[in-house]
Chains A and B, each alone.
Chain A
Amino acid sequence: MRVFNRVFMIVLFAGLFVLGVYTVVFAFDLFDYRLESLPITNLANGLQDFVGNVEDGGLSVTTQALLVLLAILGLLWFISELRPSAPRRVRMGKGTYVTRSVVQDQVATVAEEVPDVLGSSVNVKARRSPGAQVGLEARVRRGEELGTIKSNLQSTVRERLSAKGLPVSKLNVKLVEADPRQTKTRVQ
């Protein structure tokens, strides 16, 4: 959301800057640009018609739908702005935090110690409540018993991390069949 806000503000300020330059140019009749030459009368008439239609309740269905859509978008934006941003560190308990990279390294280490796993990639998200949300993608050989490996991997990771006091509140394991020649480890 921060990136979106930044982009939005940059575009807004760039627009205001351009508008300011045009205002100065037209206000002082620079480069043969004159205020009278602008189609302001048409714009003003159009605006007056629109406001008149709103007052009379005579807006077209498309315009009404567009206005409702704008209102919903504004509301959604407002709600998303009110939501607090995700914490950067994983909360462990009373006054103890651990960085995401520590959890990430530990999950990868444990996963790669499981005999069937040839390589892994880990994504860790911190949550407001204690414990990390972990997404583990493990690469295994083709033709292996995926269900067994998955449950084994899940229990091993949870067990080992819990022994180290690293809380995992959610663990998503995804197994990807891979060619051992293209993985970190060929043989376990």
Chain B
Amino acid sequence: MAALATEGVYSLGRGRFVEAATYEGVEKVSGVVVTPEDLEIHIVARYPLPSPIPEIAENIRERVAPEAGGRKTTVIVDDLEVAVDEGL
């Protein structure tokens, strides 16, 4: 949710080569891969970009840091999506 609320994030990605998801019991969270040491966040960025991608990635890292529990956070931009209101 913290990643989704970041400006420039259109949605969470699903991964391009393998499905990016975390399973816990019967629940599945798409777009986030959590391992004991790492946290991988897949996003679809909103186009036109409100700020350069590294800046969006840094904002996401900052927002998720309190929940990351010290894990190394990697942000992966899976795709760009033109927002409906942009009319491009």
A and B together in one complex: yes
Chain A residues with CB under 8 Å of chain B are: 88-89, 92-93, 95-99, 101-102, 105-106, 163-166
Partner of A95, one of B55, B56, B72, B80: B72
Is residue B34 contacting chain A, with contact meaning CB distance below 8 A? no
Known: A101-B79, A102-B77, A164-B49. A96 touches B57 (CB 8 A): yes
Chain B, 40-73, contact with A by CB distance < 8 Å: what is the 0/1 string?
0000010001011111110001000000000011
Partner of B80, one of A92, A96, A102, A165: A102
A-B contact pairs, 27 of them (CB 8 A): A88-B17, A89-B76, A92-B54, A93-B54, A95-B57, A95-B74, A96-B54, A96-B57, A96-B74, A96-B75, A96-B77, A97-B76, A97-B77, A98-B76, A98-B77, A99-B16, A99-B78, A99-B79, A101-B16, A102-B45, A102-B78, A102-B79, A102-B80, A105-B80, A164-B53, A165-B51, A166-B53
Contacting residues, chain A, for B45 (C-beta < 8 A): 102
Contacting residues, chain B, for A163 (C-beta < 8 A): 52
A54 to B4, CA, bound (A): 70
Assess whether A164 is in contact with B72, with CB atoms less than 8 Å apart.
Answer: no
Assess whether A165 is in contact with B74, with CB atoms less than 8 Å apart.
Answer: no
Assess whether B77 is in contact with A99, with CB atoms less than 8 Å apart.
Answer: yes
Shortest beta-carbon distance from A4 to chain B in Å:
21
Not counting A99-B79, A164-B49, A164-B53, a sample of 7 additional A-B residue pairs whose C-beta atoms are within 8 angstroms of each other reads A92-B53, A95-B57, A95-B72, A99-B77, A102-B79, A102-B80, A165-B52
